[in-house]
Structure 1
Amino acid sequence: MAAIGTVWIFAIMLLIVADVVGRNFFGAPITGVAEIAARSVVAIVFLMLPAAVLSETLIRADFLLRILRDHSARGTHLLDMGFAAIGAILFALVALAAWPDTAGAWRTSEFFGVRGVWTLPTLPFRLIVVFGSAASALAFVVSALGSLASIRNSRAK
């Protein structure tokens, strides 16, 4: 998913450069670039979230973990497991909350843009939010299980 997001970033970059060149040198901007870029930012974030969770590069304040790490490895893993469990719950709720709008976009063939000028269906973007959230929830579950295994290993020693 992250690779798709990376390619998408490159494609958006090319589209924006083409729009700027077309607008400034030829007086012919590309219609819909602002709308595509705006929707793409959200989609790219949700595509890259699961990889960030699994690689432990998701931004968080770790000052408490650094202090705790010096005193208790088990406590650090316990806090990590709690963080991952809360993340799994929150992203599962995001996926569940986004699903009704996604299903509605499917039923009504929802689009964005200006009818008759330029339109794009919203369904792919909404599906990315749902699947990205669900994948992030699963990634947090994997992370929580890894922390649980670390806790069990620290007990066995």
Structure 2
Amino acid sequence: MSANTTGEGAGTPDEDAYVPPFSEAPVGAILGGLAAILSSIGTAWIGALMLLIIADVVGRNFLDAPITGVSEIAARSVVAIVFLQVAAAILQRRLTRADFVLRRLEGASPRTLALFETVFALAGAVIFALVLWASYPKLADAWRTAEFFGVQGVFTIPTWPFRLITVVGSGLAALAALYVANDEIRKLRRAS
């Protein structure tokens, strides 16, 4: 399989080798690099979380020694992992969507598909910008008040790192969505 750097061929058998067009432009390369780093951290976090859960299950069932705080860590980790990986999903056009509709649109009218993708990306940019706007004050408050979760004296973790991940992830996701929208607008102009 060869990597496809033209942006064509998404959804083909070479989909796993698909290199999105953001890798061709300097801004896109930086954005894509940051998204890839965060996504890699999220992937490693998934592995660590799985090991922690397995250790808790083994400890609880076979050694009568559960690990304290696993449910709290898992609950916060799921949200953090999503925000670490969402920008890469947007840039690689792998965000959850109804592909059967998009394939029909592409077959009927590539221009309509590009318009649909532009609207979808702009809506995503607005939504993630709103998440950023709503999350930043909570990050500042968590930092200022030394907010934590868990049971004091038993198990506590500060909340600010998790809130920081939400802020950084939503900001990067908004930029990624704007980049995709710009790419789709260029496709629309070329089709005109």
Do both share a fold (TM > 0.5)?
Answer: yes
| 2:46 maps to amino acid | I
Q: Name the count of aligned residue pairs.
A: 155
Cα offset, 1:151, TM superposition: 1.0
In structure 2, distance between residues paired with 1:20 and 1:79: 46
Cα offset, 1:137, TM superposition: 0.5
Determine the structure 2 residue equivalent to 1:150. 187
Structure 1's unaligned 5+ residue stretches are none
Structure 2's unaligned 5+ residue stretches are 1-37
In structure 1, distance between residues paired with 2:132 and 2:91: 18
In structure 2, distance between residues paired with 1:42 and 1:14: 18
Kindly, what percent of the aligned residue pairs are identical?
57
Structure 1 position 17 matched with structure 2 position 63: no
| 1:137 maps to amino acid | A
Determine the structure 1 residue equivalent to 2:175. 138
Q: Deviations over 1:75-121 (max 9, x none)?
A: 21111111101110110001111111111000000000001111000
Structure 1 position 93 matched with structure 2 position 130: yes
Q: Deviations over 1:108-152 (max 9, x none)?
A: 000000011110000010111111111110110110011011111
Determine the structure 2 residue equivalent to 1:105. 142
Q: Deviations over 1:6-54 (max 9, x none)?
A: 0000000111111111112221111111100110001001111001101
TM-score by length of 2: 0.78
SS of 1:22's partner is helix
- Which is further off, 60-69 or 133-142? 60-69
TM-score by length of 1: 0.94
Q: Aligned-residue CA RMSD in angstroms?
A: 1.1
In structure 2, distance between residues paired with 1:123 and 1:11: 20
Structure scoring higher RCO (CA < 8 A, sep ≥ 6) equals 1
Q: Which of 115, 120, 126 is the equivalent residue of 2:157?
A: 120
| 1:40 maps to amino acid | S
